[in-house]
Structure 1
């Protein structure tokens, strides 16, 4: 039986005039249903390009992406993306930003059902109190919570997170990490996330995908994170398994950095 999300022998090249740059080369990855996978690597290793291929926002030069045994070749509601920039429409309230996605995906549902579903997803991220506020009236962390709620409201098969906490302060980031962990454990979402943060990757993931340096980046190493859930960040700070996983990711990234300097 094939994986729930299968990335098979994916290459991606970009051309500018006569010059061609191969960003990704022969990337293959199998993600199981309900798994939380994080992609980490140095800047320029094609992390966002790979995520965009899975999202259907760009096409692979070679290879294929299959989701639930169907080929991915265009954007669709079965894959929801949360970017580092919240991407909310500034003239709409928190409720209206989520409702826009709900109306699009669940057009066949009644108005009352769509209203209730919108409120339900606001409640999942603890933002019901801000339902009538516009993006300019709420904090960065609250905007990201609305963005996550909008994505979850689409009931996607895969939730794609592109450094969703990268622009937030440390305390807000920690709070949202905990909230994403709680949501994933409650809902059982399949998640693929990009990050530059080693601690974030180890804390959140079932598996970490470590990318080699670009161009022609590929998967250098896969690391299982055998930590039971739910996870407590304070307790894990001294956990030997957590520390070993963290060390292995840091070692990989350090070796990649040394490789670049030597080149």
Structure 2
């Protein structure tokens, strides 16, 4: 992906070759400026790659679509709508011709229950916490029934306790739905806890995939129990070693 800037062409990422299995939870991690969000935006169809393509179920991605839902760090809720209405907006957009009004209502409620928001469905964004706002963003994305859920540092702005609760919720949802997830994070512990594989990006410009680390920890995962597992610490150490010693020389 090359951007044209006032000082000339800037190659953000190059030779990014990545395959993601159906139902896998994959995290992308790397230093700031390594092109993580650029890769996510290309998959989402928000950017068109300068060279190369994205394939989803064998079909080329051409622009945004309901088969890929994005959860941003900023929850991007409409403040004049209730929690229910924010989620229903996406449901109506995607399923207007495929579900009846009653079915769309039930589907909205189902996704609110899935994200533990049923009790807050009539509240507006100003009346709920930051963690609950992010839950609404996740509920809205899941309600679109996407083939791939894309998350760009969805917990980055939250306090540690709220972040932990949301991580547990995401693991629970992923276990129940078996959806494919591609998540950007700066948090090594978060990546190891949630992922089936961690994609390690080299530093930019012209960043690329330096290494893909399979996370072979059994599911379901308990964050407290994992702290006593040697394999957890081995995986964590491997990611940290790459980020702080090898990010410029992935073959070293």
TM-score, length-scaled by structure 1:
0.93
Task: State the Cα distance separating 1:136 from its structure 2 match.
Answer: 0.8
Matched, 1:72 2:61: yes
The match for 2:127 is 137
The match for 1:53 is 42
Task: State the Cα distance separating 1:255 from its structure 2 match.
Answer: 1.0
The match for 2:25 is 36
The match for 2:91 is 102
SS at match of 1:164: coil
1:165-204 equivalences in 2 (<5 Å): 165-204=155-194
CA RMSD, Structure 1 to Structure 2 (Å): 1.1
Task: Note the alpha carbon deviations across 1:41-83, whole angstroms, 9 max, x for none.
Answer: 0000000000000000011000010001110120000000000
Task: State the Cα distance separating 1:171 from its structure 2 match.
Answer: 0.2
| Structure 2 Cα separation of the partners of residues 26 and 252 of structure 1 | 19
| Structure 1 Cα separation of the partners of residues 238 and 169 of structure 2 | 26
| Structure 2 Cα separation of the partners of residues 17 and 192 of structure 1 | 32
The match for 2:10 is 21
Change in CA separation of 1:112 and 1:51 when aligned onto 2, cut-off 3 Å: same
SS at match of 2:52: strand
The match for 1:216 is 206
| Structure 2 Cα separation of the partners of residues 103 and 39 of structure 1 | 31
Would you say the 8 A contact 1:158–1:191 is kept in 2? yes
Aligned positions, number = 248
The match for 2:82 is 93
Q: Of the two structures, which has the highest relative contact order with CA contacts closer than 8 Å and spacing of 6 or more?
A: 2
| Structure 2 Cα separation of the partners of residues 207 and 29 of structure 1 | 11
| Structure 2 Cα separation of the partners of residues 209 and 193 of structure 1 | 10
Task: State the Cα distance separating 1:17 from its structure 2 match.
Answer: 3.9
Would you say the 8 A contact 1:213–1:256 is kept in 2? no
| Structure 1 Cα separation of the partners of residues 230 and 62 of structure 2 | 42
Task: Note the alpha carbon deviations across 1:218-256, whole angstroms, 9 max, x for none.
Answer: 000110000010000000011011100000000000115
| Structure 1 Cα separation of the partners of residues 186 and 91 of structure 2 | 31
| Structure 2 Cα separation of the partners of residues 134 and 46 of structure 1 | 34
| Structure 2 Cα separation of the partners of residues 111 and 61 of structure 1 | 41
Matched, 1:112 2:82: no
